[in-house]
């Protein structure tokens, strides 16, 4: 059997930056004993105007499940205070699904036999024209993690096309060096999202068997390199259900919190994805992250970092998404197609995972209004 690459050692060409965040986050996560927190600790945390990291730890503990109602009320107050009644809308656009990584839980993994495709610039333009017709002004560009099939120049050109149709452009692609992020920013990208998947490096090593994604620290420092490359915003997430979700949620919050302390001007965003079934494996689902636990995590993020944007994706059902935008989430996807080329009616490549809320833009827009909230197509304008 072929010897696997050391998941903690950088590969050739990977930029190493001078930062101690990884050690700080992992040591905090390792020391996190969520079973030690009591109802009193949770009540104390909720009584504070500004939360400490210890308060955040208490809100993620099993004891806090007894206080979900109070947490939701506090989260709603913080959301209204900092975001008013607005809920931003966007859609993801998958432009390629080629991947060089072997991640055992992902539909795009290089050994999964699916239809692979990559959109040409003309096809990207066509997809974007269709999406723009819905009125959306924010788009998130995604690829499988393959530098060979989706190089930096290809992604940069997609950003240039996107800027003609949308006011805000995000990218969720493979981690890059800071000069490559600077190139994407110059091409029109505003923010970068990277899922760490799990912050437990031992578990991470067993889930990511081949490819650049196997290198744990390079992925961890992606957001910091993106900020160094000039991006105005960065997004964080653990894929809840891969490992101990409480520790992963705590590490995600600590990662974002410490990065914002270091770069106060950076905009911070959270996503809260749970595992979803994929093609050729319908058994991939989170075992212990049910809707109450998901609500707990989202509310804890909101109360701990009240200024952060929180995205709720179509991994969750219509009912849950309608409720969570009334409490803590500030961004919602709509008209989602996670295959390649589906927006213009001719899907060329298979999906990354099964979505749970298939509503179109108009339906989500109306649902936001029915909650007494204000749908926002763009919250950022360049002058």
**Structural domain includes residue 180:** yes
- Model confidence pLDDT, tens digit, residues 185-195: 999 999 999 99
Backbone Cα Rg of the chain: 20
Task: Please tell me which of 211-225, 271-285, 299-313 the model is most confident about, judged by mean pLDDT.
Answer: 299-313
Question: In degrees rounded to 5, what are phi and psi of residue 254?
Answer: -65, -40
Contact 149, 96 (CB under 8 A): yes
How much is the pLDDT for 158? 98
Helix (H) and strand (E) counts for the chain? 14, 11
Whether residue 85 is predicted with pLDDT greater than 50 in this model: the reply is yes
16 within a domain of the structure (yes/no) = no
pLDDT per position as a tens digit, 276-301: 654 544 545 556 789 999 999 999 99
| Alpha-helical regions (H) of the chain | 21-31, 39-47, 53-59, 68-83, 121-132, 152-165, 178-187, 201-207, 216-220, 222-228, 245-262, 291-304, 318-324, 361-370
- Mean pLDDT score, 230-255: 96
The string of DSSP letters for 92-112 reads EEE-B-----EETT-TT-TTS
Residue 134 pLDDT: 95
Q: What is the pLDDT of residues 198-210, one digit of tens each?
A: 999 999 898 866 6
Query: What's the pLDDT band for 107 if we cut at 50, 70, 90?
Result: low
Are 57 and 37 in contact by the 8 Å Cβ rule? The answer is yes
Confirm whether 7 is domain-assigned. Answer: no
**13 in a structural domain:** no
Q: What is the mean pLDDT of residues 304-319?
A: 94
Name the average pLDDT for the chain.
90
Lowest mean pLDDT across 79-83, 312-316, 365-369: 312-316
Spatial separation of the C-alpha atoms in residues 71 and 82, rounded to whole Å: 17
Mean pLDDT of 113-125: 85
pLDDT at site 383: 62
Q: pLDDT tens digits for 47-64?
A: 999 999 999 999 999 999
From CA 57, how far away is CA 41, in angstroms rounded? Answer: 10
Burial class (CB in 10 A: 0-12, 13-18, 19+), 215: buried
The pair of three-digit structure tokens given for residue 264, joined into one six-digit string: 């106060």
Given a cut of 70, whether residue 15 has pLDDT beyond it is: yes
CA-based end-to-end distance of the chain: 57
pLDDT for res 353: 53
pLDDT given at position 378: 79
In a domain, 114, yes or no: yes
Measured distance CA(40)–CA(285) in Å, rounded: 33
H/E/C letters for each residue in 286-297?
CCCCCHHHHHHH
Across the range 30-51, mean pLDDT stands at 98
Q: Has residue 274 been placed in a domain?
A: yes
Q: What percent of the chain has pLDDT over 90?
A: 73
Query: Which residues, 6 or more positions from 48, have their beta carbon under 8 angstroms from its beta carbon?
Result: 55
| Mean pLDDT on 364-378 | 95
d(C-alpha 327, C-alpha 141), whole Å = 27
Least confident among 5-14, 88-97, 105-114, 208-217: 105-114
Q: How much is the pLDDT for 110?
A: 57
Residue 14 lies in a domain: no
Give the chain's domain count: 1
Instruction: For residues 226-235, give the mean pLDDT.
Output: 98
Decide if 229 is inside a domain: yes
Q: Which of 189, 167, 170, 175 has the alpha carbon at shortest distance from 92?
A: 170
Domain that holds residue 275: 21-376
Q: How far apart are CA 138 and CA 169, in angstroms?
A: 6
Give the domain CATH number at 102: 3.20.20.70
From 220, 235, 288, select the one nearest 34 (Cα to Cα). 288
Bridging pattern class, strands 168-172 and 191-197: parallel
Residues pairing with 87 in the sheet: 375
Q: What is the mean pLDDT of residues 359-368?
A: 95
């Amino acid at each position: 059997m072929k010897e696997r690459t050391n998941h903690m050692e950088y590969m050739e060409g990977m930029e190493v930056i001078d930062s101690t965040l990884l050690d700080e986050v992992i040591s905090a996560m390792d020391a996190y004993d969520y079973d030690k927190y009591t109802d009193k600790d949770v009540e104390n945390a909720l009584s504070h105007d500004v939360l400490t990291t210890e308060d955040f730890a208490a809100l993620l503990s099993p004891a806090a499940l007894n206080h979900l109602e109070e947490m939701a009320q506090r989260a709603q107050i913080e959301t209204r205070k900092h975001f008013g009644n607005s809920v931003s809308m966007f859609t993801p656009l998958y432009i390629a699904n080629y991947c060089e990584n072997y991640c055992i839980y992902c539909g795009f993994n290089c050994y999964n036999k699916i239809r692979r495709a990559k959109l040409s610039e003309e096809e990207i333009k066509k997809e974007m024209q269709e999406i723009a017709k819905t009125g959306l002004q924010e788009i998130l560009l995604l690829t499988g993690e393959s530098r060979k099939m989706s190089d930096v120049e290809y992604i940069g050109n997609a950003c240039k096309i996107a800027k003609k149709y949308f006011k805000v452009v995000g990218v969720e692609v493979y981690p890059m060096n800071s000069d490559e992020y600077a190139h994407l920013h110059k091409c029109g990208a505003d923010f970068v999202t990277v899922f760490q998947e799990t912050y437990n490096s031992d578990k991470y090593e067993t889930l990511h068997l081949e490819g650049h994604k196997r290198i744990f620290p390079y992925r961890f420092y992606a957001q910091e390199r993106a900020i160094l490359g000039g991006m105005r915003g960065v997004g964080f997430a653990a894929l809840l259900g891969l490992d101990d979700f409480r520790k992963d949620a705590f590490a995600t919050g600590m990662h974002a919190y410490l990065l914002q302390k270091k770069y106060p001007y950076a905009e911070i965003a959270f996503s809260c994805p749970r595992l979803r079934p994929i093609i050729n494996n319908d058994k991939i689902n989170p075992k212990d992250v049910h809707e109450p636990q998901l609500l707990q995590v989202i509310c804890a993020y909101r109360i701990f970092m009240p200024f952060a944007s929180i995205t709720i994706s179509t991994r969750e059902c219509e009912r849950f998404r309608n409720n969570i935008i009334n409490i803590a989430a500030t961004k919602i996807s709509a008209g989602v197609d996670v295959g390649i080329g589906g927006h213009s009616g001719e899907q060329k490549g298979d999906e990354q995972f099964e979505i749970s809320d298939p509503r179109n833009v108009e339906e989500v827009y109306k649902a936001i209004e029915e909650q007494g909230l204000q749908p926002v197509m763009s919250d950022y304008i360049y002058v």
